[in-house]
Amino acid sequence: MDLHFSGRVAIVTGASKGIGLAVTRTLLGEGASVVAVSRKTSPELAELGGDLLHVPVDLMDPEAPGQAVARAVEEFGGLDILVNNAGGPPPGVALPRFSFMAPADEDWRVMFEFNLFAVVRFVRAAIPPMLARGGGSIVNVSSGSARLPAPMNVDYSAAKAALNNVTKALSEEYAPQGIRVNTVSPGPVRTAWWTEEGGAADIIAGQAGADRDSVLDRLAPEMMNLSIPRLVDPQEVADAIALLASPRSAATTGADLAVDAGFLKQV
């Protein structure tokens, strides 16, 4: 299927690894020019070919989104697609937390700064150049946790629920002007959040008296009651994002697409 990305310019945040790397690779492979935004590059990102520009910024800096959008316009002449993928634990934070009482005020602040306010700033910066090109597509990466409140990671879930609300509001306001805005809501994805040293697999292993491989391969899918008994692959999320970003989804806005191995059970 031709996704009609040739000649289009995309920004992908959190592009150096995980879902963001898979999205960047996919869009490049489909012919888009991509501005890859992350604090630092990675060997996997650096080896990608095509029209790729890495912009090293920290999204905890309120000026970073505007700077990245300006670089996209300067380098490639405009902007058509924005994938707000960066999210999850803010820099220096380890998740999961297991209780409402665990995060303090500052923890809540940085969680919303990273998972909501950075997205708001990126969208604010992206809309003018998109309108100048006659429209565009914004895909915000949310989480199934936004629709399944629980004591674990309550601050993260609340930030993603707010992101879903903002996405709906944006879709209402800007659809008549040609900008579609949607969310993709992954379940547990086999990314560095889970697999890196000190990450979620190690934290859960310490709580459960298990080893990290058992958590990744068996305990986490069981604990999260996944219908497909494994963690999601980043490419599976990237494929859904690419379809929503594409003109092939021209009638889709305000939607939330779950790619979660059956994590959400609600109708």
Q: Provide the whole-model pTM.
A: 0.96
CATH class of 9-189+232-259: alpha beta
Q: Is it true that the peptide bond before 96 is cis, omega within 30 degrees of 0?
A: yes
How many Cα neighbours within 13 Å face the side chain of 48? 29
pLDDT in tens, 152-169: 999 999 999 999 999 999
Helix (H, G, I), strand (E, B) or coil at 182: strand
What is the phi-psi region of residue 225: left when phi exceeds 0, alpha when psi lies from -120 to 50, beta otherwise?
A: left
What confidence score (pLDDT) does residue 193 get? 87
Q: Indicate the residue type of 230.
A: R
Question: If you average pLDDT over every residue of the chain, what do you get?
Answer: 96
Compute the chain's Rg from CA coordinates.
18
What phi, psi does 153 have (nearest 5°)?
A: 55, 45
Domain-wise residue ranges, the chain: 9-189+232-259, 191-231
- The answer to whether residue 10 scores a pLDDT higher than 90 is yes
d(CA 220, CA 224): 6
Strand order in the sheet with 52-56: 52-56, 33-38, 9-13, 81-84, 136-141, 179-186, 256-259
Question: Which residues face 256 on adjacent strands?
Answer: 183
pLDDT in tens, 195-236: 989 999 999 999 899 999 999 999 999 999 999 999 999 999
What confidence score (pLDDT) does residue 149 get? 87
- The answer to whether residue 49 scores a pLDDT higher than 90 is no
d(CA 82, CA 118): 13
Average pLDDT over residues 9-38: 98
Q: Catalytic positions, please?
A: 156
**Helices (H), ranges, the chain:** 18-29, 43-46, 64-76, 105-112, 118-132, 154-174, 192-195, 200-208, 212-214, 220-223, 234-245
What phi, psi does 17 have (nearest 5°)?
A: -160, 170
Position 1 confidence tier, pLDDT thresholds 50, 70, 90: confident
